[in-house]
Amino acid sequence: MNTPDQNQTVRATDLTRQFGERVAVNKVSFTLNRGEVLGFLGPNGAGKTTTMQMLTGNLAPSAGQVEICGIDMLDRPTDAKARIGYLPETPPLYRDLTVNEFLQLAGRLHRVPKKQLGAAVESAKQRCGIGDVGQRLIGALSKGYQQRVGIAQAIIHNPDVVILDEPTVGLDPNQIRDIRALIRELGGAHSVILSTHILPEVEQVCNRVQIIHKGQLVFADSLGGVKEFRGRSLMLGLRNAPAIEAIAAVPGVAHVEPARSGLFRVEPHADTDPTEALVQAAWEGKWNLFQLAPAVSSIEDVFVQLTHREETV
């Protein structure tokens, strides 16, 4: 057995889950290091939630392996789960308890020693910005504060890995900003896996991105790698641009949309390269071509290119 990397907190190897004949997750492998915030993306039904349930030990894989800080989830589930803090999409809150009562309960469930429990509760409250609401009933708090309480219960035992499922859904802009700041702060001391449908959120708080589609991992890279991703889209720059229909009529062009002044994003037809045809059309039409290059990608571009085409076939 290899000596585990002390900086590595999560290792998933060929993680697979079947439900009858349907393969929900198919041989997904990745690692996560301490101090990283990983954005975990995918369309509805892609296998995102199933993967997170296997990572947290709430669902056994049909095949493959999960290790948390070098501890095998199947061989030593209690030890592995003790290293994880989890906030599901619907926070597991007891609305009739005060914040202090609930966090004390969460601490006991996470086996925080009795002598350390009070300090652990206060530390979690301070880190999550709820230090002044300890005596209030959870049910009387705003949704933003309830999300903070949910994150507090996930970190009260100071886990190595924090997994957050859609933590900003339903929050107002100020609450979203505060929760994102908290996630960035958590990334300094823990490894964080953030599942979200809000793509700009990933750009603001994550330093790595993974995309799962139809049960398979189709993209895994840093944020810098996202910008360097070269899909099939082209960025066309014209100083004397014609009507957009003229560009769309160039052989090999499937779709055109304006990007900004004089720039157009061009999507080619499958298995075609319209570069030469665009140069020829620009010369003949006197469009004054000044740029024709692969488009620099955003997370949204990568997500759409890797997941949308198959779904529209």
**At 267, which CATH number?**
3.30.70.100
Which of 226, 245, 275 represents a domain boundary (last residue)?
226
Containing domain of residue 183, as a range? 1-83+159-226
Q: Give CA separation, 175 vs 10, 155, 182, 218, 272, in Å.
A: 29, 19, 11, 32, 46
Give the pLDDT confidence score for residue 1 in this predicted structure: 46
Query: In the chain, which residues have pLDDT < 50?
Result: 1-3, 310-313
Sheet holding 289-294, edge to edge: 253-260, 263-268, 234-238, 289-294
The number of folded domains in the chain is: 3
**Tokens standing for 15?**
């993680």
Residue after which a domain boundary falls, among 207, 226, 245: 226
Residues 196 and 76 in one domain: yes
Determine the pLDDT at residue 38.
95
DSSP tag of 2: P
**313 falls within a domain:** no
Distance separating alpha carbons of residues 298 and 219, to the nearest angstrom: 13
Query: Which residue, 186, 205, 226, sits at the end of a domain?
Result: 226
Does residue 165 sit in the same domain as residue 151?
no
User: What pLDDT was estimated at residue 227?
Assistant: 66
pLDDT in tens, 127-158: 898 999 999 999 999 988 999 999 999 999 99
Whether 50 and 176 share a structural domain: yes
User: Could you tell me if residue 309 is inside a domain?
Assistant: no
Question: By the 8 A CB rule, do 139 and 96 touch?
Answer: yes
Strand-pair category, 161-165 with 84-87: parallel
Q: What is the mean pLDDT of the chain?
A: 89
